[in-house]
Amino acid sequence: MFCKNCGNELGVGQNFCNCCGAPEGAGDKYCAECGIPVASGSAFCSNCGTPMPRSGGAPYADQNMGANNYGAYNAYGQPQTPGVCHVCNQTLEPGNSICVYCGTPVAAQQPMQPPMQPPMQQPYMPNYGNVKGKSRMLCAFMALFLGHFGVHHFIMGYGGRGAAKIILTLCGLFTCGITTLVSCIWALVDAIRLFSRSIKVDARGIPLE
């Protein structure tokens, strides 16, 4: 315990300061807990945070404190005025560890860092190098004249589709030509799509020329 008038350390049970003669608890120049000088009008000790009553023993009441009085913030939650407490809007004293008006630690006054933005990913662009694409017109004419045998599919690398058309065409021998007709219609649709450039790449993703 320290004298609040002169900062002298008081003994246990000592009711008066043996240095200045002030009664215990009288004065507001020094902190009673740590003996550090306190600025006039401060509500808290800047060293240990002990509440400081006003002269005469009346408790300190901060008129600037309020349930919604948190000052002005920017888009990142930072106080817009540097060096100002974001709770009570009072000026922060340089070197103090807490706000002497409301007791908020100065460490809590540090501005928030902006959120990290993830790096933008570039769209994948396949590199075909010097690979030459298949001829669109060749595939289109193959689909028009030999499409029911899937020749154009084999040229573009779609072996499964080509095999399916061969099977459909041969099954027409046993279905009165119904499956062969289906294969021909399929081939005609492929030819139209190739001529109209609706089919743009082959099975490997390489653009048709």
In a domain, 130, yes or no: no
- What is the spatial distance between Cα 3 and Cα 32, in angstroms, rounded to a whole number? 6
pLDDT of 190 higher than 90 = yes
Each residue of 151-184: pLDDT tens digit?
999 999 999 999 999 999 999 999 999 999 999 9
19 and 53 share a domain?
yes
DSSP state of 108: G
In a domain, 203, yes or no: no
56 and 68 share a domain?
no
Give me the pLDDT at residue 68, please. 36
45 and 7 share a domain?
yes
50 and 94 share a domain?
no
Q: List b or e across 86-123, with b for residues whose CB sees 16 or more CB atoms inside 10 angstroms.
A: bbbbbebbeebebbbbbbbeeeebeeeeeeeeeeeeee
Give me the pLDDT at residue 150, please. 93
The H or E element containing residue 53 is: none
| Helix ranges (DSSP H) in the chain | 136-146, 151-156, 159-171, 178-195
In a domain, 149, yes or no: yes
Give me the pLDDT at residue 34, please. 80
pLDDT of 72 higher than 60 = no
- What is the spatial distance between Cα 44 and Cα 20, in angstroms, rounded to a whole number? 23
Number of domains in the chain: 3
* DSSP SS3 for 144: helix
2 and 53 share a domain?
yes
- What is the spatial distance between Cα 78 and Cα 82, in angstroms, rounded to a whole number? 9
Give me the pLDDT at residue 178, please. 94
86 and 105 share a domain?
yes
- What is the spatial distance between Cα 99 and Cα 104, in angstroms, rounded to a whole number? 5
| Range in 18-32, 49-63, 80-94, 117-131 with the lowest mean pLDDT | 49-63
pLDDT of 82 higher than 60 = no
In a domain, 116, yes or no: no
**Is the four-CA dihedral 79, 70, 100, 108 of positive or negative sign?**
negative
In a domain, 151, yes or no: yes
- What is the spatial distance between Cα 155 and Cα 165, in angstroms, rounded to a whole number? 14
Cβ atoms 43, 101 nearer than 8 A? yes
- What is the spatial distance between Cα 53 and Cα 22, in angstroms, rounded to a whole number? 16
Question: Where is the domain boundary, 26, 45, 61?
Answer: 61
In a domain, 6, yes or no: yes
In a domain, 104, yes or no: yes
Which whole number is the average pLDDT over 38-49?
73
* DSSP SS3 for 184: helix
57 and 68 share a domain?
no
Q: Which structural domain, as residue segments, surrounds residue 148?
A: 136-195
- What is the spatial distance between Cα 203 and Cα 131, in angstroms, rounded to a whole number? 14
Give me the pLDDT at residue 124, please. 66
91 and 35 share a domain?
no
70 and 54 share a domain?
no
75 and 89 share a domain?
yes
143 and 92 share a domain?
no
92 and 140 share a domain?
no
* pLDDT tier for residue 125 given thresholds of 50, 70 and 90: low
Mean pLDDT (the chain) is 75
- HEC per residue, 145-157: HHHHHCHHHHHHC
pLDDT of 67 higher than 90 = no
Which whole number is the average pLDDT over 20-35?
77
In a domain, 44, yes or no: yes
